[in-house]
Homo-oligomer: A and B are copies of this chain.
Amino acid sequence: MTDKSTIVYTLTDEAPSLATCSLLPIVRTFTRAAGIEVTISDISLAGRILSAFPERLKEEQRVVDGLAELGKLTQDPHANIVKLPNISASVPQLRACIAELQGQGYDVPDYVDAPKTDAEKDARERYSKILGSAVNPVLRQGNSDRRAPAAVKAYARKYPHSMGAWSKASRTHADYMTGGDFFSSEQSITSEKAQDVRIEFVSKSGQVELKKTLPLEQGEVLDSMFMSSKALRAFFEQTLEDSKNTGVMWSLHVKATMMKVSHPIVFGHAVSVYYKDLFDKHGELFKELGVNPNNGLSSVYDKIKSLPDSKQEEILHDLHACYENRPEMAMVDSVKGITNLHIPSDVIVDASMPAMIRNSGQMWGRDGKQKDTKAVMPESTYARIYQEVINFCKTNGAFDPTTMGSVSNVGLMAMKAEEYGSHDKTFEMTEDGTMRVVDADGNVLMQHEVEKGDIWRACQTKDAAIRDWVKLAVTRARNSDTPAVFWLDEERAHDNELRKKVEAYLQEHDLEGLDIRIMSYNEAIRFSMERMKRGKDTISVTGNVLRDYLTDLFPIMELGTSAKMLSIVPMLAGGGMYETGAGGSAPKHVQQLMEENHLRWDSLGEFLALAVSLEELGIKEHNSRAKVLAKCLDKATEKLLENGKSPSRKTGELDNRGSHFYLGLYWAQEVAAQTEDAELAAEFAPFAKALSDNEEQILAELAAVQGKPAAEVEGYYHADREGVKKVMRPSATLNGILASANA
């Protein structure tokens, strides 16, 4: 149980966590006046690792399991959580964090690829819960409501971000499987009663292996599907040959972080097909060394370090020889020679595709030049929409941020809906046979013939989540007076099950005057884009994966970033979570801070989320001061945008810390100027004056530290908090004003 007047603010990783150190003291100065406490919950990668191994740590090293506590809080109707972006750790990231913690004297175990001892297996099991997108599934106990705040949209129209022109002659295209993938094999049922079903594997010899028992609720939708590894590998080979023949650069776009079980395998196949000659020749040796293509080519570089120099050279020679017979590949960092296949977490489809689309449909080649690309996204379920966008841009030219409409999203996210909850029901086949879902009476509900290497998975979607999603869609359509389109594909078994429910649950609402439609994906995105081009808004009402993809795609085109979106999770239990943008945790920002003491992270998402958090708290807990603070914060944010006080990317100019100062200044001025609560206004007048009077001095102090390395920040994943504080709060004058305001 939480106090009714508490906002829980998450401490995460990288740039957002650094920014928090600067922003929170300012925020608390305001919330204190409304009797609201802003508490911190550590859900950083390092924190999660430490809390997983209490028995190995000294008493003083132990930390509480912030994520578990927050998870409980989501069930509280009073929950009010402001959630910042965190790391969805890939294996290399996890390893780096473990190494850092070990170096700091924490006795956490290694992450072992092929655990043998019980201890290793136990550690591996605990780490598996930390890997990938481990935070969101725990916290997102509701559906998703994402939209561009009016102030942000207006600002983007007035001061448009850069948008690369599209050539009608562009060769860029999406390429995806047309058979053998999850889309082609999807089956779906709706459970008519609460029941336990079994996922079983039946071998060719008839042996039945229980893979998992699943409790299903009444009305729950269960899907099963598989991707053929043979078809996948043949597809990769074919895309490589086509790229080679047409001279179009090859690139791979998956989501190995969120789809942490299936997509690393898909990624691994891409690596071992692209570098086929290398793996053919050195396969045995690689196996001995523990090279895992699922971790990217970096795994080869890592593991061969133990070999004699001459052998290493031979392998590197063979590796480079692969490039001769393969098409040019898109680079993540052409300066450092980091390719698309280096690490599975580098290229994440929902961010990489919009970036490509914004960039004239081009990615970077080995020579550092922009080039048209074949964007390979094996699974065709959602990949098709990107081809539709590409076709649209070729036909109509790039979207124009100054005139384009907005596509907001109502996403089916609650209760680990759909693919994003499938990790514990995803299996890589170790032999040929049949995967099947069987009920208690032995009836086979669904089954697939599979082969060794195929990836089979089941996905669940709870009836309560669907019902709430439909309700949220109707509410959003009503409140925003905007057409809402349910994206349900006629060719998907799962969507056809959902369609029945959607049609039924829509009848529970007053639809008078609303424009609510159901369309297949390609129709829906085309419809939305046609409207968008004409400056009209549309609500996309989608499943969980499209929620994720679209809330990057459209915001990046509209606003240049998805970090400026309002992202609200109205929880099923009644509470609310306010996410601060989907912009990732920005490792490059940290790098710049470390080297030049400039943090370009934009906390706009935090400002917007905090305003909604305060507004909701004000409404639910009848806290009028919270409402006043919310209103003033929104006005302050608008002023900040209008006056150009967002962080600059360039060292030496205003950065995250300076932007926080201006937010505090404008917010205080708004509170002092408002007339709803005269007492509050009076209270904040001197604070506003102090900030205003000392503007020059504070800016000078903030500017003075820039340009040199931020030496005090020790540690990347688990930085010393005191060091961070020194770096992130360098203005003695500002610190003094805050201290006296809170005295």
With A391-B394, A391-B395 already in contact, the answer to whether A242 and B171 are too (CB < 8 A) is: no
A175 touches B171 (CB 8 A): no
Q: By the criterion CB–CB under 8 Å, are B242 and A168 in contact? A: yes
Within A387-428, which residues are at the interface with B (CB < 8 Å)?
387-388, 391, 394-395
Q: Which residue of B lies closest to A239 (CB)?
A: B168
Chain B residues lying within 8 Å of A168, measured Cβ to Cβ, are 173, 175, 242, 374
Chain A positions 475 through 505: 1 when the CB is less than 8 Å from some CB of chain B, otherwise 0: 0000000000000000000000000000000
Give the complex CA separation of A388 and B526 in angstroms.
12
Q: How far is the CA of A391 from the CA of B391 in the complex (A)?
A: 6
The answer for the CA separation of A169 and B526 in the assembled complex, in Å, is 21
How far does the alpha carbon of A516 sit from the alpha carbon of B395 in the complex, in Å? 29
Which residues between 226 and 269 of chain A lie within 8 Å of chain B, taking CB atoms? Answer: 242, 246-248
Contact partner of A387 (CB less than 8 A), chosen from B169, B387, B395, is: B395
Q: Does A651 contact B (CB under 8 A)?
A: no
A184 in the interface (beta carbon within 8 A): no
Let me know if A733 is at the binding interface, CB within 8 A.
no
A170 touches B (CB below 8 Å): yes
A173 contact set on B, CB distance < 8 A: 168-169, 394-395
A93 interfacial by beta-carbon distance below 8 Å: no
Residue of B nearest to A526 (CB): B526
| Residues B169 and A246 in contact, CB atoms below 8 Å apart | yes
CA distance A394 to B170 in the complex (A): 12
Q: A168-B173, A171-B171 are in contact. List 5 more A-B contacts (CB 8 A).
A: A168-B175, A169-B248, A173-B394, A388-B395, A391-B394
Contacts of A388 in B (CB 8 A): 395
The secondary structure that dominates the A interface is mixed
Shortest Cβ distance from residue A543 to the other chain B in the assembled complex, whole angstroms: 21
Interface string of A79-116 (1 = CB under 8 A from B): 00000000000000000000000000000000000000
Check A167 for interface membership: any CB of B closer than 8 A.
Answer: yes
| Shortest distance from the beta carbon of A526 to any chain B beta carbon, whole Å | 8
* CB-CB nearest in chain B for A173: B168
- Write 11 A-B pairs (CB below 8 A) sorted by A numbering: A168-B173, A168-B175, A168-B374, A169-B171, A169-B173, A169-B247, A169-B248, A169-B372, A169-B374, A171-B171, A173-B395
Smallest Cβ-Cβ distance to A248: which chain B residue: B169
Q: Could you tell me which residues of chain A, from 137 to 188, have a CB within 8 Å of some CB in chain B? A: 167-171, 173, 175
Q: Once bound together, how far apart are the Cα atoms of A526 and B529, in whole Å? A: 15
* Chain A interface (Cβ < 8 Å from any Cβ of B): 167-171, 173, 175, 242, 246-248, 372, 374, 387-388, 391, 394-395, 526
- In the bound complex, residues from chain B placing their C-beta under 8 Å from that of A372 are 169
Assembled-state Cα–Cα distance A169/B167 (Å): 13
The complex is assembled from copies of this chain, and their number is: 2
* Residue numbers in B under 8 Å from A387 (CB-CB): 395
Q: Which B residue's beta carbon lies closest to that of A373?
A: B169
Q: Which residue of B lies closest to A167 (CB)?
A: B246
Partner of A169, one of B242, B391, B394, B395: B242
In Å, the complex CA distance between A168 and B175 comes to 8
User: With A and B bound together, what is the CA distance between A731 and B701 in angstroms?
Assistant: 106
Task: Give the complex CA separation of A169 and B374 in angstroms.
Answer: 8
Cβ distance A396 to chain B, nearest Cβ, rounded Å: 9
Q: Shortest 6 CB-CB distances between A and B: which pairs? A: A391-B391, A169-B246, A168-B173, A169-B171, A169-B248, A387-B395
Tell me the minimal C-beta distance from A214 to chain B in angstroms.
Answer: 34
* Minimum CB–CB distance for A683 against chain B, Å: 57
* A170 cross-chain contacts in B, Cβ below 8 A: 171
Please name the residue on chain B nearest to A384 by beta carbon.
B395
A371 to B599 CA separation, bound complex (whole angstroms): 50
Residues from chain B with a CB closer than 8 A to the CB of A526 are 526
How many Å from the CB of A652 to the closest CB on chain B?
38
* Whole-angstrom CA separation of A167 from B374 in the bound complex: 11
Closest to A394 in B: B173
Contacts of A395 in B (CB 8 A): 173, 387-388, 391
Max count, chain B CB within 10 A of own CB: residue among A169, A247, A374: A169
Complex alpha-carbon distance, A242 and B246, angstroms = 21
Listed residue (A168, A247, A388) with the most chain B CB atoms within 10 angstroms of its CB: A168
**Bound Cα distance A526, B173 (Å):** 19
CB distance from A264 to the nearest CB of B (A): 26
What is the distance, in angstroms, from A519's C-beta to the closest C-beta of chain B?
12
CA distance A391 to B392 in the complex (A): 9
For the complex, give the distance between the alpha carbons of A247 and B526 in Å. Answer: 29
Q: How far is the CB of A363 from chain B (nearest CB, A)?
A: 14
**A374 — which chain B residues lie within 8 A by C-beta?**
168-169
Which residues from chain B contact A167 at a C-beta distance below 8 Å? 242, 246
Q: How far is the CA of A395 from the CA of B391 in the complex (A)?
A: 8
> Which B residues are in CB contact (< 8 Å) with A394?
173, 391
CA distance A374 to B169 in the complex (A): 8
Closest B-chain residue to A246, C-beta based?
A: B169
Q: How far is the CB of A365 from chain B (nearest CB, A)?
A: 15
Whole-angstrom CA separation of A387 from B392 in the bound complex: 10
Question: Which residues of chain B have C-beta atoms less than 8 A from A248's C-beta?
Answer: 169
Considering the complex, give the chain B residue whose CB is closest to the CB of A372: B169
Q: How far is the CB of A67 from chain B (nearest CB, A)?
A: 42
Complex-state Cα separation, A663 to B247, whole angstroms: 51
A717 CB, nearest partner CB in chain B, Å:
41
How many angstroms between the C-alpha atoms of A173 and B394 in the bound complex?
Answer: 8
CB-defined contacts of A247 to chain B, threshold 8 Å: 169
> Which of A171, A247, A374 is the most central at the interface, judged by chain B CB atoms within 10 Å of its CB?
A171
A247 to B372, CA, bound (A): 14
Output the nearest chain B residue to A530 by Cβ-Cβ distance: B522
Q: Nearest Cβ distance between residue A674 and chain B, in whole angstroms?
A: 46
Could you tell me the distance in whole angstroms from the C-beta of A536 to the nearest C-beta in chain B?
Answer: 13
Q: Give the shortest distance, in Å, between A107 (CB) and chain B (any CB).
A: 53
CB distance from A157 to the nearest CB of B (A): 21
In the bound assembly, the distance between CA atoms of A206 and B547 in angstroms comes to 61
* Distance (whole angstroms) from the CB of A591 to the closest CB of chain B: 35
Question: In the complex the two chains form, what is the Cα distance from A167 to B247 in whole Å?
Answer: 12
Residue of A167, A242, A247, A374 with most partner-chain B CB within 10 A:
A167
* Shortest distance from the beta carbon of A238 to any chain B beta carbon, whole Å: 11
Min CB distance, A15 to chain B, in Å?
Answer: 37
Could you say which residues of chain B place their CB within 8 Å of the CB of A391?
391, 394-395
The CA-CA distance from A173 to B248 in the complex, in Å, is 17
The answer for the CA separation of A253 and B517 in the assembled complex, in Å, is 38
Q: Smallest CB–CB gap between A215 and chain B, Å?
A: 38
